[in-house]
Chains A and B, each alone.
Chain A
């Protein structure tokens, strides 16, 4: 019904967290998956493949770092050769590295985040787009609410997530004539290790000596319109599947916010 049966999707950052759930949801809809992640994540990547296989779909693991354009292109090329086609690109790989006031960020920290979150996305679409057939396709780039507004101590992350919006907007103009749609998704806090970790708990609750997830949840929930502290990965995956599906066949160049109202809360 969503037009994804028999399609092939490439997902970067596929070994765990939201990336793995993207793979599961696409498999649920009948798509085969190319799961990309770095060599250190190979064990988790195997688990992702098992999840896809359990749903009766094929999964080819492609081991590459999105910062390494040649290796990424080779891995995606091999996988597309194996599965026979490419229809959907989900540029999901990203990091949320420890921050600091903008003027204290090191050159290294700045570049590290941009290399993965921005240049890595460009490498991904650069490799994937030429492999999408004449029938058209869909590119979904995972940005963030920090792709729409700034927060303190995240200049590197915020700049990278804003920048992918610019990339998506240009790409949508370039690919519209080929029937390839390009959109960004902007999640609020998602209940994955990227948010659920001690460093984040301490940042959210500087008032407590040993803050827990529950302590952090109070603060996070107070920032959302809806009464939840964070979203589940499946909520992001549902939005991505919608954008990739035929139900969104005329949606391109847009920013879809999935944030429990975080960016629109006024009090």
Chain B
């Protein structure tokens, strides 16, 4: 079978680890060159361990191992100026842009009525406004190409409410609205825009004490991986606690590929049935 993304260039935010890294490696295996962006550092109000330059280097090593080319940039999607510089530099290196995955995101917790202003604001600034900025600086390159596929990584929290993460849920719902408008605006240019909605994914974003403890309020200590899994499993229709980053990457690959050439403005869950349970 021929490579499904042969000759394409894909830009991915949040590419240092987790879903972003899986997208980079999966797309590279299908022949795409990769522009990999990540903040590679801590974000205020976020208590989970942050990504590092070493993580981004590892993504680059894995992508290079497939024979694809990769450009990495350390940049914060909250900073429009540096983001534009980084994106333009990557696009120049490969001579164009075909695919955009807005994957970078954060998590933090707190009940809606008790949440500090900063926690709310940072969440929106990264998970919603950061996605908008990513679209804003990449869209001109796709328009210049007269084609393209944009994939926004939302969440099951973009389709229904989840307890303790009102800010995350609001941001991920906001991404769907952004996607639907952008799909209308970019369709005349032959550019498709879709969102994917994962359930829990086995990444550092959930595999940490802050998140796992929230799943096991019955314990007076941090749960083990198995104890976390037992609780996470109850969210899904299929008998699994979480999906792998590869599963999300595969769905994004389908949407990015010509196999989905007439699919635009859709919300694709990768959620083990969670939203229908």
Give chain A nearest CB distance to B253 CB in angstroms: 8
Q: B238 interface residue, CB < 8 Å from A? A: yes
* Partner pick for B272 among A226, A235, A250, A256, CB 8 A cutoff: A250
* Contact of B271 with A250 in the complex, beta carbons under 8 Å: yes
Q: Which of A207-260 contact B (CB under 8 A)?
A: 225-228, 231, 235, 238-239, 242, 247-254, 256-260
* Contact of B268 with A226 in the complex, beta carbons under 8 Å: no
Q: A151 interface residue, CB < 8 Å from B? A: no
* Contact of A265 with B250 in the complex, beta carbons under 8 Å: no
* Contact of B273 with A247 in the complex, beta carbons under 8 Å: no
Q: A11 interface residue, CB < 8 Å from B? A: no
Q: A43 interface residue, CB < 8 Å from B? A: no
* Contact of A225 with B265 in the complex, beta carbons under 8 Å: yes
Give chain A nearest CB distance to B24 CB in angstroms: 17
* Contact of A173 with B239 in the complex, beta carbons under 8 Å: no
Give chain B nearest CB distance to A254 CB in angstroms: 5
Give chain A nearest CB distance to B68 CB in angstroms: 17
Q: B206 interface residue, CB < 8 Å from A? A: no
Which residues of chain B are near A251, meaning CB under 8 Å? 251, 268-272
Give the nearest-CB partner of B191 in chain A: A226
Give chain A nearest CB distance to B258 CB in angstroms: 9
Q: Given A173-B276, A239-B260, A179 and B238 touching (CB < 8 A)?
A: yes
Distance of A266 Cα from B187 Cα, bound (Å): 12
* Contact of B277 with A173 in the complex, beta carbons under 8 Å: yes
Q: B56 interface residue, CB < 8 Å from A? A: no
* Partner pick for B262 among A169, A256, A260, A263, CB 8 A cutoff: A260
Give the nearest-CB partner of B1 in chain A: A1
Distance of A258 Cα from B268 Cα, bound (Å): 11
22 A–B pairs (Cβ distance < 8 Å), ordered by A: A173-B273, A225-B187, A227-B187, A227-B188, A238-B260, A247-B250, A248-B250, A249-B247, A250-B238, A250-B247, A250-B270, A251-B269, A251-B270, A251-B272, A252-B238, A253-B275, A253-B277, A254-B268, A257-B263, A257-B265, A259-B262, A267-B184
Q: B229 interface residue, CB < 8 Å from A? A: no
Q: How many residues of A contact B (CB 8 A)?
A: 37
Q: Given A176-B237, A261-B183, A226 and B243 touching (CB < 8 A)?
A: no
Q: Count A-B pairs with CB separation below 8 Å.
A: 117
Residues of A in contact with B (beta carbons under 8 Å apart):
1, 169, 172-173, 176-177, 179, 181, 188, 225-228, 231, 235, 238-239, 242, 247-254, 256-261, 263-267
* Contact of B183 with A172 in the complex, beta carbons under 8 Å: no
| B interface, size bucket | 35 or more
Which residues of chain B are near A1, meaning CB under 8 Å? 1
Which residues of chain B are near A169, meaning CB under 8 Å? 276
Which residues of chain B are near A227, meaning CB under 8 Å? 187-188, 190
B 225-247 binary contact with A (CB < 8 Å = 1; else 0): 00000000000111110010001
Give the nearest-CB partner of B275 in chain A: A253
Q: B133 interface residue, CB < 8 Å from A? A: no
* Contact of B269 with A261 in the complex, beta carbons under 8 Å: no
Q: B259 interface residue, CB < 8 Å from A? A: yes
Q: B109 interface residue, CB < 8 Å from A? A: no
Since A179-B239, A227-B187, A259-B262 are in contact, a sample of 16 more A-B pairs with Cβ atoms closer than 8 Å, ordered by chain A residue number, is A172-B273, A173-B276, A173-B277, A181-B273, A225-B183, A227-B190, A235-B263, A250-B270, A251-B270, A252-B276, A253-B269, A253-B276, A254-B271, A254-B275, A257-B263, A260-B264
* Contact of A176 with B254 in the complex, beta carbons under 8 Å: no
* Contact of A225 with B239 in the complex, beta carbons under 8 Å: no
Q: Given A172-B276, A242-B254, A252 and B237 touching (CB < 8 A)?
A: yes
Q: B261 interface residue, CB < 8 Å from A? A: yes
Which residues of chain B are near A267, meaning CB under 8 Å? 184
Distance of A257 Cα from B240 Cα, bound (Å): 25
Distance of A173 Cα from B190 Cα, bound (Å): 37
Distance of A265 Cα from B190 Cα, bound (Å): 14
Q: B167 interface residue, CB < 8 Å from A? A: no
Q: B43 interface residue, CB < 8 Å from A? A: no
Distance of A169 Cα from B275 Cα, bound (Å): 10
Q: B141 interface residue, CB < 8 Å from A? A: no
* Contact of A261 with B187 in the complex, beta carbons under 8 Å: yes
Distance of A39 Cα from B65 Cα, bound (Å): 54
Give chain B nearest CB distance to A137 CB in angstroms: 13
* Contact of A256 with B240 in the complex, beta carbons under 8 Å: no
* Contact of A252 with B272 in the complex, beta carbons under 8 Å: yes
Which residues of chain A are near B266, meaning CB under 8 Å? 256-257, 264
Which residues of chain A are near B180, meaning CB under 8 Å? 264
Which residues of chain A are near B247, meaning CB under 8 Å? 247, 249-250
